[in-house]
Amino acid sequence: MIDLLETPPYCPSPFAYTRRPTRVVQVGDVGIGGDNPIRVQSMTTPATTDVAATVAQIERLVAAGCEIVRITVPSSADAEALPRIRAGMKERALRVPLVADIHFSPQAALLAVPYVEKVRINPGNFADKKRFAVREYSDEQYNAELERLQEKLTPLIHACAPRRVALRIGTNHGSLSDRILNRYGDTPLGMVESALEFVRICRRLDFHDIILSMKASHTMVAIQAYRLLAARMDAEGMDYPFHLGVTEAGDGEDGRIKSAIGIGALLDDGIGDTVRVSLTEDPVAEIPVARALVQPYNERSLPVTSPALSGVRETRRPYDYRRRPAAAVSIGGVTCGGNAPIRVENLLSAPPADEATARRALEILTRSAAGADTPCEILEVVVSRPRQVDDMERLVDLAAELAPDLAITARPTAAFLHAEAHGAFARLVRRVQRLAFRVHAPLNEDGLLKRGVGLDLAGMVGRPICWVLTPAAPGTHADVAAHLAVDLLEHTRRAGLPHTQVALEPGFAPGGVGAYRLLAERLAAADLHPSLILVDRPSAGEENGSLAVGARLGSLLCDGMGDAVRVEIRNARGERSDAPADLHRARELAYTILQGTRVRVVKTEFISCPSCGRTMFDLEETTRRIKERTGHLKGLKIAIMGCVVNGPGEMADADFGYVGWGPGKVALFVGHEMVAKDIDLAHADERLVQLIKDHGRWVEPA
């Protein structure tokens, strides 16, 4: 069995971006991998035999910027529709490459090859039927299975090779074969082994037009599987490009953020040559999301120059989750770090100047959407002038009345500390539950530490301190901040203030993910274990900003880093925004990212497929209805899948499944077990609710 701790790194440095080198695989005119741009693709949703609808959707996808289009080919009849789709595309001068999506039917794959530029097969079901059987395989039996695989795959390779039709070996977490599950479990390692079995057969047949994917709806599983695949392939001298995706991501902001986390984290790791965002929406809506994710990497200039990083080594575990050890800190009644839930913080750029505004801000910060448990837990308020201490005291008193669980903390500015202010500072310290200090890195000789904080440390005993490090100049390298953090923590520890936290503001080179990784490793090397607050900033009203934040924070959370998350919204002028809508958005986005990584679950998890030509009901409308009925069931995982052929396999670890059984018919699942089938769509929602009740998982909505 492979030891994950002994597995070599998947990239040259976790602190700086380098794109994983790959060979180029041509998919028609579109090159994938090498120095080619990271390509954007999607999949059609009408029945493949509905040629007119399929061609019309391809046209819309291409107009939106889709570079490769996949079409489901469940049967020979669908394969036979492909030449007519080609003819329809020719009439409309559409030159986009097509991919045939194959499950369970090697025959359909063979029929499709002459009409497509790529075939996607799922190693979990190309040659195996999924039976969820538990069985021990001896090595002899296992090898006999591999021989059977080779027999099934060889005709397809022989058909693809002379036409230069590429092959995607597309592993899905939820649909691993029983053989793989029994030997490796339902794990990233199982996914990797599943793909490598097929890759090795291709290589024996001297076929190399291969692209690989490792999709899962659990973002952390997908990230770990792709990384592990990259490491294993490097070790075996393989350089095939990767197709990235988070499968069954769902719809709306949840689906977008989940995709941003999984795909964005990997792109930032330098992994990925083509992406598909799977949303339970019109596939055209996937394209702008995918383009926004790949754009920064396609437009990337030369790598950031890095100072020599001596004395730092990677202790992060990239292939399995382990939360970074951090000392727990009590901030009022809120524990942060240790084993406490990862907290959500908000920032106010000033204490509200009147009671009505303060009440409104507290309401916005602590009111949660129906069914969700998503209040702000720690509020940091910037205090710039001594007279704002009156406003802070009023805010603290109001919070005690309106939001007793909220920890209120202050960030006195250098201007506040320099303005005499000893009396004001002492009042502030007494009333708040943490003091935060923003420090420029590198530290200016005139810095806060010498002129302000150093004088008053003794008065702060018992109060946690948060060091917020910000770049003194654009592009300051994160190692400067990491060394400064070590100095500051040692300084505060010597002063008898051991309860410290650290946050990095955006702007350090080489970027948010690398900066926090470097900080964590420098702290670990100095035997310092403060809790870390992850801070990031999208621009107000800008969707792409949320995706970028989702990618950066999600990547760090999946690495086990971060004890609190703070999203700060800026307005169009780049200033911090205290507008109610922006405070609300900042908090909700932080929780959506936590839920998207599953490091903290605050609402129902919906796993819904993007739909395709196999779908048996209106997936968007059905998903909306089921969300409405069950969206208050915090922590429950409900899958809504379009077909029973792939749905049960691909819904992975869902607690309950609502799956298309036939036209207008539904089957219900508890875990992987089908408990009812052939239910009319008209009664299926009610039956699902009853099933949840029967299993004791229902609570009445508040």
Task: Provide the binding-site residues for ligand SF4, judged by CB under 6 A.
Answer: 609-612, 614-615, 641-643, 645-647, 650
Nearer to ligand SF4, 409 or 646 (CB): 646
Query: What is the smallest separation between the CB atom of 622 and ligand SF4, expressed in angstroms?
Result: 12
Nearer to ligand SF4, 452 or 647 (CB): 647
Nearer to ligand SF4, 177 or 492 (CB): 177
Query: What is the smallest separation between the CB atom of 330 and ligand SF4, expressed in angstroms?
Result: 46
Write the secondary structure of 520-569 as one string of H (helix), E (strand) and C (coil): HHHHHHCCCCCEEEEEECCECCCHHHHHHHHHHHHHHHHCCCCCEEEECC
Query: What is the smallest separation between the CB atom of 669 and ligand SF4, expressed in angstroms?
Result: 12
Measured CA to CA, the distance from residue 253 to residue 258 in angstroms comes to: 8
Query: What is the smallest separation between the CB atom of 228 and ligand SF4, expressed in angstroms?
Result: 24
Residue of 620, 48, 50, 546 whose CA lies nearest to 283: 620
Backbone phi, psi, residue 687, to 5°: -65, -35
Nearer to ligand SF4, 280 or 546 (CB): 280
Query: What is the smallest separation between the CB atom of 45 and ligand SF4, expressed in angstroms?
Result: 8
Nearer to ligand SF4, 287 or 518 (CB): 287
Q: Are 238 and 210 in contact (CB under 8 A)?
A: no
Query: Tokens 């053989």, residue?
Result: 179
Nearer to ligand SF4, 252 or 341 (CB): 252
Q: Are 277 and 290 in contact (CB under 8 A)?
A: yes
Measured CA to CA, the distance from residue 564 to residue 84 in angstroms comes to: 55
Query: What is the smallest separation between the CB atom of 214 and ligand SF4, expressed in angstroms?
Result: 17
Query: What is the smallest separation between the CB atom of 605 and ligand SF4, expressed in angstroms?
Result: 17
Query: What is the smallest separation between the CB atom of 619 and ligand SF4, expressed in angstroms?
Result: 7
Nearer to ligand SF4, 48 or 555 (CB): 48
DSSP string of 639-675, one letter each residue = EEES-TTTHHHHTTT-SEEEEEEETTEEEEEETTEEE
Nearer to ligand SF4, 534 or 643 (CB): 643
Nearer to ligand SF4, 594 or 638 (CB): 638
Tally helices (H) and strands (E) across the chain: 22, 25
Nearer to ligand SF4, 592 or 615 (CB): 615
Q: How far is CA 514 from CA 14, 308, 313, 396, in A?
A: 6, 14, 13, 36
Backbone phi, psi, residue 136, to 5°: -85, 130
Nearer to ligand SF4, 259 or 335 (CB): 259
Nearer to ligand SF4, 250 or 538 (CB): 250
What does the block give as tokens for 345?
A: 């913080």
Residue of 247, 162, 145 whose CA lies nearest to 198: 145
Nearer to ligand SF4, 412 or 647 (CB): 647
Query: What is the smallest separation between the CB atom of 609 and ligand SF4, expressed in angstroms?
Result: 3
How many residues comprise the chain? 702
Query: What is the smallest separation between the CB atom of 649 and ligand SF4, expressed in angstroms?
Result: 8
End-to-end CA distance of the chain: 48
Three-state secondary-structure class, residue 399: helix
Q: CB nearest ligand SF4: which residue? A: 642
Q: How far is CA 240 from CA 20, 68, 198, 611, 678, in A?
A: 10, 18, 13, 28, 43
Q: Which residues lie across from 276 on neighbouring strands?
A: 41
Backbone phi, psi, residue 383, to 5°: -120, 115
Write the secondary structure of 278-337 as one string of H (helix), E (strand) and C (coil): CCCCCHHHHHHHHHHHHHHHHCCCCCCCCCCCCCCCCCCCCCCCCCCCCCCEEECCEEEC
Nearer to ligand SF4, 453 or 612 (CB): 612
Q: 665-670 and 656-662: which strand pairing?
A: antiparallel
DSSP string of 65-120, one letter each residue = T--EEEEE--SHHHHHHHHHHHHHHHHTT----EEEEESS-HHHHHHHGGG-SEEE
What region does 254 belong to: left with phi over 0, alpha with psi -120 to 50, or beta? alpha
Query: What is the smallest separation between the CB atom of 638 and ligand SF4, expressed in angstroms?
Result: 14
Query: What is the smallest separation between the CB atom of 227 and ligand SF4, expressed in angstroms?
Result: 25
Q: 531-536 and 500-504: which strand pairing?
A: parallel
Q: Which residues lie across from 566 on neighbouring strands?
A: 345, 535
Query: What is the smallest separation between the CB atom of 657 and ligand SF4, expressed in angstroms?
Result: 10
Nearer to ligand SF4, 100 or 609 (CB): 609
Angle at CA of residue 501, ends 497 and 503, nearest 5°:
145
Query: What is the smallest separation between the CB atom of 103 and ligand SF4, expressed in angstroms?
Result: 7
Q: Are 371 and 390 in contact (CB under 8 A)?
A: no
Measured CA to CA, the distance from residue 436 to residue 504 in angstroms comes to: 12
Query: What is the smallest separation between the CB atom of 617 and ligand SF4, expressed in angstroms?
Result: 10
